[in-house]
Amino acid sequence: MQQNSKTSFLILGIFIFLGLSTLGYFFKSAIVEYKQFDRTVKVKGLSEKEYKADIVIWPITYTEVSNNLEDIYNSIDKNNEKIDNFLLSNGIEKSEITFSAPEITDKVAQQYGNEKINYRYNARQTITVYSKNIDGVRAVKSSLSKLGKQGIVFSGDNYGSRTEYIFTKLNEVKPKMIEEATKKAREVAQKFAFDSKSKLGKIKSASQGQFSISQRDKNNPQIKKIRVVSTVEYYLTD
């Protein structure tokens, strides 16, 4: 009876030993595998393209002064007609031209103290050209001095009078640029893996940066520079 108990304990001990050994082996393998998958490399890929703007917004602003309110409105009507005819004769469509209401300032109403006023009324008129014909508008804009010679005083120093060029086709170019940025990121990651004598694994995480649109340079605001950066993290294996 005692001999049978010793045999049973011995067999039980052997099974326990084998079980712990097997568990230890799998546990060790799991740790090694986890550490391998914990090795990563994070890289960035850039895609940068130049595209021509497809919409131009050109505000044409001029001023008039007078001591008679009726006279200043008559002058505005005449100048508006001159500008309208000039734009139409140079290829601008009627539907692309918008006339805003003139802004009239009464200097007497705003006078402080003994300030000397040469003209009581000051008028500011804006005509806006909204067009997809970028080249045509730029050509007309460069010849606007012809109207200046007819006595129209244009003002282009303030922010509201600046010509704006807009690129509206971002959604059309996004997929191709994202693909290029991701491809360049993978090329960098592969180079890193090769240099470190590793192999590039699957993607652990990826994020796409915001698209930025800026003018290429101050002399060519109609040329837009589109830029995006993708960040990708890859697993590395031996």
Q: Which domain CATH number covers 74?
A: 3.30.70.2970
What is the chain's mean pLDDT, rounded?
A: 84
On whether both 80 and 154 belong to a single domain, the answer is: yes
Residue 88 shares a structural domain with residue 157: yes
Q: Distance (Å, rounded) from C-alpha 212 to C-alpha 151?
A: 42
Rounded Cα distance between 115 and 106, Å, is 14
Which range has the worst mean pLDDT, 15-24, 62-71, 120-129, 181-190?
15-24
Show which of 137, 166, 195 is a domain's final residue: 166
Task: Choose the weakest-confidence range: 20-34, 72-86, 213-227.
Answer: 20-34
Would you state the pLDDT for residue 29? 40
Query: At which of 166, 189, 210 does a domain end?
Result: 166
CA gap 235, 80 in Å, rounded: 67
Q: Please give the average per-residue pLDDT across 64-84, as a whole number.
A: 95
Same domain, 185 and 162: no
pLDDT at residue 116 in the model = 78
Mark whether 223 and 155 lie in a shared domain: no
Same domain, 197 and 229: yes
Full-prediction pTM beyond 0.85?
A: no
Residue spans of beta strands (DSSP E) within 91-222:
97-99, 103-106, 121-131, 153-154, 164-166, 199-208, 212-215
Distance CA 45, CA 185 (A): 4
Q: Which of 18-32, 115-129, 169-183 has the highest mean pLDDT?
A: 169-183
Q: Indicate if 90 and 154 belong to the same structural domain.
A: yes
Say whether both 90 and 47 belong to one domain: no
Same domain, 47 and 72: no
Domain boundary among 120, 144, 166: 166
Q: From residue 156, how far is each of 30, 64, 127 by CA, in Å?
A: 71, 14, 12
pLDDT tens by residue, 167-226: 999 999 999 999 999 999 999 999 999 998 889 989 999 998 889 999 999 889 999 999
Q: What residue numbers bound the domain in which 25 lies?
A: 1-38
* Cross-strand bridge partners of residue 31: none
Domain count, the chain: 3
Q: What is the pLDDT of residues 131-170, one digit of tens each?
A: 999 999 999 998 988 888 888 988 865 656 789 999 999 9
